[in-house]
Amino acid sequence: MTERRAKKRKRRSPGASAPSMWDGLYGTVEVRRVQPYEAHKEYVCPGCHRTISKGTGHVVCVPSDAPDLRRHWHKGCWERRDRRAKRQT
């Protein structure tokens, strides 16, 4: 029987980059799921800059200290936001 080894992910060093608003700069971030039947407007996802169409399920992310910075994200873009930031720097 062969052993399976878990891949180790590289972790960012604590001082590598400034924290973004999604990593706690404006307090904790509340993430709410929007069901397709609740999505009545179109939004632009800040992760991919593409349109989130009416009737498409997505997530709404609201920083607790700055609720006016609420943003609507595709669920996949929100889950991969940390990988995108690493690649761009």
Q: What is the pLDDT of residues 19-66, one digit of tens each?
A: 566 666 777 888 999 999 999 999 999 999 999 999 999 999 998 888
Question: Which residue type sits at 54?
Answer: K
> Which tokens hold the place of 80?
């991969």
Contacts of 23 (CB under 8 A, 6+ apart): 82
Which pLDDT band holds residue 15 (cuts at 50, 70, 90)? very low
Whole-model pTM: value is 0.68
Which pLDDT band holds residue 81 (cuts at 50, 70, 90)? confident
